[in-house]
Amino acid sequence: MLEHIIFDLDGTLTDPFLGITRSVQFALSHFGISVENLEALTCFIGPPLLDSFRQFYGFTEEQAEEAVVFYRKYFRETGIFENEVLEGIPELLSNLCAAGKKLYVATSKPQIFAEQILEHFSLRTYFQGVCGSNLDGSRCRKAEVIDDILNTLPPNASAVMVGDRMYDVAGAKEAGIPCIGVTYGYGGEEELRQAGADRIAATVQELEQCLLQESRDE
């Protein structure tokens, strides 16, 4: 029986669009790069920041590290709460807890920020544990944070990952657990299917049915 459910944060539980894109915009402006269309920066939602600055703007390692410093300057002061809980998520978490599920968060976002966001939106009490990256850039790969959660569970515990990006699917596979992809986030169905998601849910309500169905099927 499925007992442990691990959630991604950005795009799965909350919509961080404004906070992340404005933080990236601020960081890029430090390098003289002006991006007026925030939609062009949605690619930063999901993967580790260092990777994104290198991949999408061709930054060197040193430039990417400097960009992250400026990103966090804006994010820590303003962007962290330019965020909103996705519709239906509190009800989903409450229903899963009522059904006896143990819930966790595994995110590439720094753990200290993830904890603050969950507390701010009164979601923290639903979760047994939260694992994110370290501020020094370590433990930023999704498989690493999932593994840290799994290491707290009993041997042979049944667990599943829920996320909206290919990084969630890849991290779950590397950690040895299945992944349910959600298309209401930022990845989309094609990305999730190509990554090998075990199941796809288009809405929060469909996700709830999927998670409770998994329990009945086992």
The yes-or-no verdict on residue 214 having pLDDT over 70 is no
Q: What pLDDT, on the 0 to 100 scale, is given for residue 217?
A: 52
pLDDT of residue 137: 82
Indicate if the pLDDT at residue 16 is higher than 90.
yes
Which pLDDT score is estimated for 89?
A: 98
The CATH number corresponding to 17-81 among 3.40.50.10540, 2.60.120.650, 3.30.420.40, 1.10.150.240 equals 1.10.150.240
Query: Where are the CATH 1.10.150.240 domain residues in the chain?
Result: 17-81
Residue intervals in the chain for CATH 3.40.50.1000:
4-15+84-217
Catalytic residues: 8
CA dist 16 → 19, 29, 86, 102 (Å): 5, 20, 10, 24
Query: pLDDT tens digits, residue range 83-104?
Result: 999 999 999 999 999 999 999 9
Q: Return the percentage of the chain with pLDDT > 70, whole number.
A: 98
pTM of the model: 0.93
CATH for 4-15+84-217 (3.40.50.1000, 3.30.1330.40, 3.40.50.261, 3.40.1190.10): 3.40.50.1000
Burial class (CB in 10 A: 0-12, 13-18, 19+), 162: buried
| Nearest-angstrom CA–CA distance, 20 and 26 | 10
Give the sign of the dihedral formed by CA 20, CA 167, CA 57, CA 115: positive
Q: With 80 as the cut, is the pLDDT of residue 175 above it?
A: yes
C-alpha to C-alpha distance for 105 and 94, rounded to whole angstroms = 15
**183's tokens:** 């298309």
Q: What is the mean pLDDT of the chain?
A: 95
- pLDDT 10s digits, 26-78: 999 999 999 999 999 999 998 889 999 999 999 999 999 999 999 999 999 99
Nearest alpha-carbon partner for 106 in 144, 54, 80, 158? 144
* Mean local confidence (pLDDT), 7-20: 98
**pLDDT band per the 50, 70, 90 thresholds, residue 4:** very high
Residue 7 contacts residue 182 (beta carbons within 8 Å):
no
Classified as helix, coil or strand, 53 is helix
More confident residue, 107 or 137: 107
State mean pLDDT over 139-147: 94
